[in-house]
Structure 1
């Protein structure tokens, strides 16, 4: 019975890591597709980084997660942070700029 405990621990760890990686891939894919479909002139209104820069960053984040497949690494944390910054900071500002409801 004592021998089965480490195997169960490894299985649970692998399932949780797989689930976190899948969630991160979905978030990063959504950020990349959303960035791809936005108008390029809205990026100039909102911030300093143009559309190509955000496409490169969100695409690289998606690629890093696909290649390394782990959120537990330092690069994986940077990748999900890039996608989160785009989705939580830039996406609402782009939506306001396109709709004309923003402060600019």
Structure 2
């Protein structure tokens, strides 16, 4: 007799996928919003990707993440994890550099 997973495992996987996807989507949207209001010359001053590059990366992954949440794409969670990683890099590294450049208090 073979043991099998409970009948509700697909529901658990779908709910976890949705929760992780919503968190990653929120992270990329917050990063995109912060990037949108920053000055373009500040990005080159701190030596990172230019502002249009960050906007394209964060906006593209946020858009694909939204499509994944609505339509459940096959590789959508992978795209959302890439977007979450880009959002974390932006918030923890680039935002700190921009903050140090604009108000002079520094990051960490």
2:22 and 2:100 map into 1 onto residues whose CA distance is 30
The TM-score normalised by the length of structure 2 is: 0.79
TM-score (norm 1): 0.81
Cα RMSD (Å) = 2.2
In structure 2, the residue matched to 1:79 is 83
Show structure 2 runs of 5+ residues with no match.
70-75
* TM superposition shift of 1:25: 0.8
Runs of 4+ in 1 over 3 A off after TM superposition: none
- The separation in 2 between residues aligned to 1:12 and 1:25, in whole angstroms, is 20
Equivalent-residue separation in structure 2 for 1:81 and 1:4 (angstroms): 32
Which of the two has greater helix per residue? 1
